[in-house]
Amino acid sequence: MRPTTTTNAGVPVASDEHSLTVGAAGPNLLQDSYLLEKLAHFVRERVPDRVYHVKGGGAFGYFEVTEDVTQWTKAAFLSKVGKRTPVLARLSSVAGEEGYADTDRDVRGFAVKFYTEEGNYDMVGNNTPVFFVRDPMKFPDFIHSQERMPDSGLRSNNAQWDFWTLSPESAHQVTILMTDRGTPRTWRHMNGYSSDTYMWQNAAGARFWVKYHFKTEQGIQNLTDAEAKAMRAEDLDFHRRDLFEAILRQDHPAWRVEMQIMPYEDAAGYRFNPFDITKTWPHKDYPTIPIGRMVLNRNPENFFAQIVQAAFDVANMVPGIGPSPDRMVLGRMFAYGDSNRYRTGPNYGQLPVNRPLNEVHNYNKDAPMRYHHSGNQPVYAPNSYGGPAGDPRRYRDPSWMVESGEILRTAYQAHRDDDDFVQPGTLYRDVLGPADREHLAGNIAAHLSAGVERFIQERAVKEYWNRVDPGLGARVAEHIGLTATTRR
């Protein structure tokens, strides 16, 4: 038997075809709650598009370590040869909207989510080893120049060339874009690159600058400009269809993952800035080193849930991997997460496609569409009830300036009188009169007596109010029945 249609609340419904009406010729009734739910859900089916990389596709698979890289990084998912990590790869066009021809000339996005035991690691790159701009300040302007004009709603080659020719740093990327690599035959027949530079750190604390290269095992194949334009007329979704059907027939695409690794000390004296994303590192200086292999072998079961809602964040880096002084990396570390929060809400990380394999422990709470929660566990830090705590010894900030003290997590630099209890003590002794001091002690005691556990009451007296003034501590202790100390 076929299952019975239900509302979103699981309640059975009478009909999939006919609305509840007043007679055969009468109007629809507002009390047809399933009709209203169905229409209301229908007009809300879409989430906001990505601003760029809108049109794309993707698949699941695995990454397998093929070489020992522990001399360069302590990342757990890279810890031993043969280790496999589940991945999601999303391939896309940069400038086009949904419905855009897959084969039009454009840079292709190449994003990989590694579901590691230490959390999700997102490598968000392109099919080119460089980019158009080196400073995130110009990134929105670049994208605007590629998109539709505000007056006509049309794309403008004039705007693109106006921006490019006023941005000389774009020359390397534009040169690549205008070759046949700007029109790859399929996503399976193109390489992927981090483009940006990142930092790897090993267990001993040694640091290295790295670039990622995903080399297609299918071989590089491109379309000529004429072939790309012809495919536009034949199949707008050619790349998306090709990837899906290749996996369906078990012709699983694969990429060799290779790294360029620069010793930490080399960067300062290198002949050009190695953190400039508009430049490549010559392979004669830093040859690629094979480290692993990525295979895509599983299509999404639901394109919207698993590909459209997939959220990649440049800031998602696991221990052993961190940012570099690459300005585009540092700007993208904010923008990507913020884009995800805007598109699918602050709890986008709880969606199955975005959820990490390991448990999440933090103090974020509520917000739309939250379905995972921590019960009665504290939602604030610090706390006395076993809530999660950062571990600066095991997980230091992955920065190139932490050790030198140029970047650090700290409060204000303490001066001579920078004691948290000096000024409230002065207020108590020198400003408040006798009646005010008594009222203060009584008010504190009343608040502490309303549902506050005894061990916190004791801490409040001995480690808090006694340090403001011993006399005040004694007054509060007396009011709440703790052993009195000195009283003034």
d(CA 355, CA 353): 6
Residues 62 and 37 in one domain: no
> Are the C-beta atoms of 50 and 96 separated by less than 8 Å?
no
Tell me the backbone φ, ψ of residue 423, rounded to 5 degrees. -70, -40
Residues 66 and 4 in one domain: no
Residues 63 and 40 in one domain: no
**Dihedral sign of CA atoms 51, 142, 175, 194 in order:** negative
* Number of compact structural domains in the chain: 3
> Are the C-beta atoms of 142 and 95 separated by less than 8 Å?
no
* Structural domain ending residue among the three candidates 319, 350, 381: 350
Residues 326 and 466 in one domain: no
CA of residue 344 relative to chain centroid, distance: 13
Residues 41 and 62 in one domain: no
Residue 147 lies in domain: 56-350
- For residue 23, being part of any structural domain is answered with no
- For residue 409, being part of any structural domain is answered with no
Given the residues 126, 127, 354, 466, select the one marked as catalytic: 126
Q: How many other CB atoms are found less than 10 A from the CB of residue 210?
A: 23
- For residue 393, being part of any structural domain is answered with no
The Cβ-side half-sphere exposure at 313, using a 13 Å CA radius, reads 22
Closest CA to 400 of 323, 303, 347, 309: 323
- For residue 408, being part of any structural domain is answered with no
Check residue 483 and give its pLDDT.
73
Tokens of 66: 């093929």
> Are the C-beta atoms of 75 and 298 separated by less than 8 Å?
no
Residues 429 and 311 in one domain: no
Long-range contact pairs involving 80-87 (C-beta distance under 8 Å, separation at least 24): 85/114, 85/115, 85/116, 86/60, 86/61, 86/62, 86/114, 86/115, 86/357, 87/60, 87/61, 87/62, 87/63, 87/112, 87/113, 87/114, 87/115, 87/294, 87/296
d(CA 29, CA 445): 60
- For residue 364, being part of any structural domain is answered with no
Residues 227 and 250 in one domain: yes
Tens of each residue's pLDDT in the chain, 488 residues: 899 999 899 989 999 999 999 999 999 999 999 999 998 999 999 999 999 999 999 999 999 999 999 999 999 999 999 999 999 999 999 998 999 999 999 999 999 999 999 999 999 999 999 999 999 999 999 999 999 999 999 999 999 999 999 999 999 999 999 999 999 999 999 999 999 999 999 999 999 999 999 999 999 999 999 999 999 999 999 999 999 999 999 999 999 999 999 999 999 999 999 999 999 999 999 999 999 999 999 999 999 999 999 999 999 999 999 999 999 999 999 999 999 999 999 999 999 999 999 999 988 889 888 888 888 888 889 999 999 998 887 887 766 766 656 677 777 788 888 899 999 999 999 999 999 999 999 999 999 999 999 999 999 999 999 999 999 999 999 999 997 544 44
Residues 39 and 118 in one domain: no
Residues 33 and 78 in one domain: no
* Structural domain ending residue among the three candidates 301, 330, 350: 350
Residues 33 and 109 in one domain: no
* Structural domain ending residue among the three candidates 295, 329, 350: 350
Tell me the CATH number at 194.
2.40.180.10
**pTM of the full predicted structure?**
0.92
Given the residues 28, 41, 53, 415, select the one marked as catalytic: 53
Residues 463 and 334 in one domain: no
Closest CA to 432 of 482, 468, 461: 468
Check residue 402 and give its pLDDT.
62
Tell me the CATH number at 445.
1.20.1370.60
User: Can 126 be counted among the known catalytic residues?
Assistant: yes
> Are the C-beta atoms of 221 and 185 separated by less than 8 Å?
yes
- For residue 79, being part of any structural domain is answered with yes
Residues 208 and 148 in one domain: yes
The DSSP code sequence of 232-255 is HHH-TTHHHHHHHHHHHTT---EE
Closest CA to 464 of 420, 423, 401: 420
Is 336 one of the annotated binding-site residues?
yes
- Strands 84-93, 108-116: pairing is antiparallel
The DSSP code sequence of 413-475 is PP-TT--TTHHHHHIIIIIS-HHHHHHHHHHHHHHHTTT--HHHHHHIIIIIIHHH-HHHHHH
